[in-house]
A and B are shown apart, each in its own frame.
Chain A
């Protein structure tokens, strides 16, 4: 059984239809990249999968581990193992990162029938994972995302991913706004977190990130649909030729 099975997914925000029939199958252990021009619906897909309220699904279904994902509340999806690394992580003033993650981990473990970690175990995990993703240790003492630079915010998302150990990780333009060093650090973190039980869906506008995280599949999204899928060479082709040729091919003249 596939970990994620998206069938003919249509979604709109207010009156505007953004997703117009997305089909995608992701198996555990795989890394999928979704590329596409601005406004093609990539981030909407991420938001719909995470359960953001502003989007209304009008047609289609999403099965996660055989269960109807769209029926679950956002927090239930997270506890089931769906993680979204946000494109714009929000700040939570006064909410300590360690406290935040302790509460989150407690909720997730409880859902999986596990007891909460002892404070000592938790601190040990925090330290290990911070080292794994190369997070500046001071960040975990600070309030969640408050006053973080763009790069720190993105790195903190990968750190949270490492802490919460999801089965499906969706990275929404995690590479945007990063300089080359930060990009490499984020990619390095993700590579360390790849595992046979975990799948990644990486949403990106540029091929650049895929130099560091090598995907098993590359999909191109145009106008709310996945119009082409291939292996990593497709990403290189896109880099070389841009998106217009695909738009033309699928009959959407630029």
Chain B
């Protein structure tokens, strides 16, 4: 099928979250140096152990930067100019207080920002029964529902507060799943990370509500480097959702986050992402570079970690939410929809590392490419010698909207145990002219037809999102497919 007018429009549709909030910010001078690390630690009022941790990561990162040509990860199917790490400001915070005691202290403009984004931090969210942590640039501006959660012994706060109030938990688990030596961007994040969320769910507690963090890059010339750590103690359950947006800017902004999940015996963590960072304009100018390391470990027996992601934003996405299946009988899942249009490039997938016996993993990935975009799935299934009777099922489907985009699948299998059962299915299809015609013959416009077909294609994955967000996700996907400009 040649690109129809509608499919061409998809490539050019507008980004609805591109406004900028005019607030006073305090910003670190651009560039990386030991002074900058001290500056960040000082501003955040961190204890010495945290400062030392950062400095170790910083020195390691600088050693990588010195050997940039060898150390920079270039294996992904992505094309972009080199990033100037000395041109970025590594810390920006809304002026006023370093930490807010209540919503009343938060700059009304910030509250308005989140309201515009559909994330009201007040009464409405209370009614919806979702606890939210909102992070603007480098600082958490509000965490709702704290008292309610505290009744159950659940800790949900910004990373800054966790370092101050729960140092033993942070010391024990920070970097335990993603050490700073893990990769280039993990090293950078470990040195300069700012707020992200911290969650601890005690033994046997089923978290009574969805926990959610909303990330927003606002200030120009800054990167965002949040760090999230979630610990589910024995027999506990938590469902967590993150959303992200950024203003439209001509320059590229760097986002390099690290997320670590730890599930102890019989615990379950469900982590959902709706990633909608600014993707750049129709010509490929601007947009967020999204280099994220997300990994969970099923540390105890019978534990489970499930990643679900809807990736629609960013100019570049480099992201592989993974699970280390260490406990016997543990379960890892990865459900992903990646939609790219315009000149977006996504290289995303997962790693399932089977170490324990009877471990099971499922990978369902749906890539949709429109415009001039490139959409790659990259996934590793590793079954170690110790992992008797490990099972994996992978299904990776790609759909092309138009004929100038690309879809690619890079599956890697490393099987060291003969009892493993590993299945991989992959399909690539062009959205069928026949399918669109069939829908049109029933009275549906081409636009509605494409929305229905794409939604149907993603159904298995969207169904994994928590109820409250599944509708949001469908709407977001519909907006992304919107033909009309404005």
Contact = CB atoms under 8 A, between A and B. Distances in A.
Interface residues of B, number: 23
A73 interface: yes
> Which one of B434, B438, B442, B455 has the greatest number of beta carbons of chain A within 10 Å?
B442
A89 B434 CA distance: 9
B432 A90 contact: yes
Interface stretch (A37-45, A98-106, A200-208): A98-106
Contact of A93 (B434, B438, B456): B456
B459 interface: yes
A92 B435 contact: yes
Contacts of B435: 90, 92
Contacts of A77: 441
Contacts of B446: 75
A192 B445 CA distance: 29
A84 B443 CA distance: 11
Interface in A82-113: 83-84, 86, 89-90, 92-96, 99-101, 103-105, 107-108, 111
B443 A111 contact: yes
B437 interface: yes
A50 B437 CA distance: 9
Contact of B441 (A74, A93, A99, A105): A74
Contact of A94 (B432, B441, B448, B455): B455
Nearest to B456: A94
A53 B442 contact: no
B443 A75 contact: yes
Nearest to A86: B438
A78 B457 contact: no
B440 A95 contact: no
A52 interface: yes
Contacts of B457: 93-94
A74 B440 contact: yes
A92 B453 contact: yes
A107 B440 CA distance: 10
Nearest to B1: A53
A100 B442 contact: yes
Given A52-B437, A89-B438, A104 B444 contact: yes
A151 B445 CA distance: 28
Interface in B448-469: 448, 452-453, 455-460
A107 B458 contact: no
Contacts of A107: 443-445, 448
Nearest to A104: B442
Nearest to B447: A75
A74 B436 CA distance: 10
B364 to A, nearest CB: 12
B433 interface: yes
Contacts of A50: 437, 441
A104 B443 contact: yes
A74 B453 CA distance: 17
Contacts of A75: 439-441, 443-446
Given A90-B434, A92-B435, A107-B448, A160 B442 contact: yes
Nearest to B445: A75
A53 B443 contact: no
Nearest to B461: A94
Contacts of A92: 435, 438-439, 452-453, 456
A143 interface: yes
Nearest to B451: A103
B228 to A, nearest CB: 31
A137 B444 CA distance: 24
Interface in B366-394: none
A167 interface: no
Nearest to A82: B441
Interface of A: 50-53, 73-75, 77-79, 83-84, 86, 89-90, 92-96, 99-101, 103-105, 107-108, 111, 143, 160, 164
14 contacts: A50-B437, A74-B437, A75-B444, A77-B441, A78-B442, A92-B453, A93-B456, A95-B455, A95-B456, A99-B452, A103-B444, A105-B443, A107-B444, A164-B442
Closest CB pairs A-B (n = 6) = A94-B456, A95-B456, A94-B459, A104-B442, A78-B443, A75-B440
